[in-house]
Amino acid sequence: MPCSAVTLSLATVTAIVALALLSIAFSTDNWLYIEVKRAQIHQYAKKLGDQDSLIDNLNNKYYYYTRTKGLFRICYPKERPQSVETYLSPVETHCNNIDYFIPDVDNLTKQFSEDAMARLHMGRSMIAMFIVAFFAVFIAFWTGVAGCWRRSPGNITATAILMLLCCLLTAGGMGLWHGVEYYEREKVVGEEFFQQWNNALRDGTVVWYDWSYILAWLSAGFSFASSVVLFCAANCLRSERSVEKAKNVQYIMPVYPQKQQYAYATSYPAPAAAYPGPYYHGSQYGPYNY
């Protein structure tokens, strides 16, 4: 089997897997799993002299409930807060949207601190980078189809560059996601984030990365693998073309023009010049006397 056929097949499979993983990660809400031990917080509240405010928060604030967080939604797999308007997601989980303030009709972001605005800008940029990564894969699909149809190393190389661009955009989006997570954990950007939690909520909350986050990083890895294999496929196509040209050259027989030189006698008339001598006058067998 030709080298190009194997590498193009592998590149196609890895590109499809990368696109599928990125689509699943982008559309699902399991990037972070935030488990809140509500019973532990309730017991902690009973030990305090003034427990009314903590009990009120426990019943009304959404960040006192176990939840999963994605790029667009916060979902509640167990109990859900009654003070927050939720809706059923496609997987039948009660969720509410994450607000990126696009557009900011009421100019609410004017009251944000510098850290809160930096977090907001990183969140917006993260979404934009993932969308551009999808667009790069869309263009790579058409250049790849054209390259396979025409067996063009140039088109396959362009597809490899686009898949590499997709990998870099996905990795950049993941980097911005970690930047948002850092600001939510280490900076003062809102009461619903770690720095403004009380001690009971901090001690009773466990956070870990969920499967959507893992799929997003796997997508970046498969995009890079697809790019590498496509570069190899382009090299294979160039080598196969060179071999085919070398074989075709062997069947081409060179035809050279043949030149024949004639000696023309200058002492004879033009008709005689076409037939070179020697010429004899009379009979060549001697004179005959009758």
For residue 249, what pLDDT is reported? 65
Bridge partners of residue 95, in order along the sequence: 75, 87
- Asked whether residue 260 carries a pLDDT value surpassing 80, the answer given is no
Higher pLDDT, residue 62 or 2: 62
CA–CA dist 27, 129 (Å, integer): 15
Pairing assessment for the beta strands 32-36 and 67-69 based on DSSP bridges: antiparallel
Contacts by 248-251, CB closer than 8 A, 24 or more apart: none
Task: Name the pTM for this structure.
Answer: 0.81
Place 243 in a pLDDT band, splitting at 50, 70 and 90.
Answer: confident
Give residue-wise pLDDT tens across range 138-157.
999 999 999 888 888 999 99
- Nearest C-alpha neighbor of 2 from the set 285, 199, 170, 237: 237
- What structural domains and CATH numbers belong to the chain? 3-238 (1.20.140.150)
Residue 290 reports pLDDT greater than 50: no
Sign of the Cα torsion 80, 84, 85, 86 reads: negative
Summarize pLDDT for 44-58 with one digit per residue, the tens: 877 775 567 788 888
> Would the pLDDT of 272 be above 60?
no
Reported confidence tier of residue 224, pLDDT bands at 50, 70, 90: very high
Identify the DSSP state of 277. Answer: -
> Which tokens in the block code for residue 128?
């934009």
73 bridge partner residues: 97
Record the tokens describing residue 126, joined without a space.
């993260």
From CA 120, how far away is CA 282, in angstroms rounded? 120
